[in-house]
Amino acid sequence: MTGEPKDVLNAGDGDGAEVADGEIVEARQLAEEAVEETVLPDESPLAGLTGTPGIAKPDPILVADGVGRSFGGLKAVDVAHLEIQRGTITSLIGPNGAGKTTLFNLLTGFDRADTGTWSFDGVPVSGLPAHKVARRGMVRTFQLTKALTRLTVLDNMKLAAVGQRGENFFNALVPPLWRPQEAGLEKHAMVLLERFKLAHMRDSFAGELSGGQRKLLEMARALMVGPSMVMLDEPMAGVNPALTQSLLGHVKALRDEGMTVLFVEHDMDVVMGISDWVVCMAQGQVIAEGTPDQIRSNRAVIDAYLGTRYDEPGAEE
Ligand SMILES: Nc1ncnc2c1ncn2[C@@H]1O[C@H](COP(=O)(O)OP(=O)(O)OP(=O)(O)O)[C@@H](O)[C@H]1O
């Protein structure tokens, strides 16, 4: 992974999926159209807000205050105040080591903050373990670990549900041990696998999936608990153009269904194209936030991350 902002349509075909040249050209066109089509609607609750770091949102689903995490002498996260607006796609950008993944881990209970409080949907969740945060409706995706690649696609889905609920992982793989309320688990998993076009792979080992299909499975796994907010860590990384288009469509569909999406992404065409709001971190702090238009001309963001690529006349000082 590189900390340089990237152009998604020039992303590598890193997943090994076999795609003919013609299909790639067509997929590029589709991806360009998908990005161009997404415009922040005038009625967006965020339209008209200024891009001050920590600015209050009209209806935040997540509110964080004073969140800090140090590793040795390094302050990896030092976020004074951050609100995420409900029902929007917010992207988190910033250079390598800015603290984006650490912030994800803190908010979702996968790491412990040294300081800070945060609430989700009006309920304090700071300090709760990950499965309890997930039960409240906030989940994050993870890259499939080596162990998970040795399980079938369907078992991965079942594990995601019970794991995020804090139950015994492996009981879920032994049908007689399922609790009655888990009887519908497989049905729910299959509905999601259909949606992500992975149903035909249900009995394949996850390790047999292409890179793009793995990303789809990671997203599908997160949805097993019926979250109201999903946090995606680089959902497009290393994915070929054909599947990038499909992933973009899925991210937008989640938002259109009312879910809140927060994602870390280095592909600036994706970020600027599909985000309702962009938050930029550097050295652990939120240095700017705003609409894609505000962010691409924000001097602090250009200096810390974007460089000259989006440096347009009229950049804010
Ligand atoms: N477990 C850890 N132990 C020590 N240092 C860590 C640990 N996790 C993260 N860091 C450090 O904290 C800082 C923030 O890292 P983090 O991975 O959150 O950044 P990031 O913005 O997600 O970067 P990238 O874009 O490269 O993923 C980095 O300097 C990193 O080396």
Task: Tell the residue nearest (CA) to atom 17 of ligand 1.
Answer: 101
Quote the ligand 1 centre to 99 CA distance (angstroms).
6
For 112-149, b where at least 16 C-beta lie within 10 A, e where not — what string?
Answer: ebeebebbbbeeebbebebbebbbbbbbbbeebeeebe
Q: Whose CA is nearest to atom 24 of ligand 1?
A: 96
Quick one: pLDDT at residue 315?
Answer: 44
Neighbour count for residue 255 (Cβ, 10 Å): 19
Confidence of residue 314 (pLDDT cuts 50, 70, 90): very low
**Residue nearest (by alpha carbon) to ligand 1 atom 8:** 102
Q: What pLDDT shows up at residue 46?
A: 85
Average pLDDT score, the chain: 81
Give the integer Cα–Cα distance in Å for 245 and 37: 12
Work out the burial of residue 88: count CB atoms within 10 Å of its CB; fewer than 13 is exposed, 13-18 middle, 19 or more buried.
Answer: buried
| Residue 25 predicted with pLDDT over 80 | no
Pocket test for ligand 1, best of 92, 101, 112, 280 (most atoms within 8 A of CB): 101
Q: Is the CB of 99 under 6 A from ligand 1?
A: yes
For ligand 1, whether the C-beta of 143 sits within 6 Å is: no
Per-residue confidence (pLDDT) for residue 7, from 0 to 100: 42
ipTM given for this complex: 0.98
CB 236, CB 143: distance < 8 Å: no
**87-96, 97-106, 144-153, 215-224 — which is least confidently predicted?**
144-153
Our answer on whether the CB atom of 307 is closer than 6 Å to any ligand 1 atom is no
Local confidence band at 180 (pLDDT 50, 70, 90 cut-offs)? low
- Banded pLDDT at 287 (limits 50, 70, 90): very high
- Report d(CA 89, CA 38) in Å as an integer: 11
102 lines ligand 1 (CB under 6 A): yes
Strand partners, 260: 229
Per-residue confidence band for 119, with pLDDT thresholds at 50, 70 and 90: very high
Give the residue, by CA position, lying nearest to ligand 1 atom 18: 99
Q: Which residue's C-alpha comes closest to atom 26 of ligand 1?
A: 96
**pLDDT score, position 164:** 57
Whole-number pLDDT of residue 308: 54
Nearest-atom number in ligand 1 for the CA of 99 is 18
**Over residues 264-283, mean pLDDT:** 92
Nearest alpha carbon, ligand 1 atom 5: 71
Ligand 1 near 170 CB (within 6 A): no
Q: Is the pLDDT of residue 21 over 80?
A: no
Examine the pLDDT at 213 and tell me if it is beyond 80: yes
72 CA to centre of ligand 1 in angstroms: 12
Residue 302 has pLDDT above 70, yes or no: yes
pLDDT score for 123: 95
Query: Which residue would you say has higher pLDDT here, 147 or 273?
Result: 273
Q: How many other C-beta atoms can be found within 10 angstroms of the C-beta atom of residue 187? A: 8
The protein residue with its alpha carbon nearest to ligand 1, atom 28, reads 97
- Between 217 and 36, the more confident residue is 217
Distance of CA 93 from the midpoint of ligand 1 (Å): 14
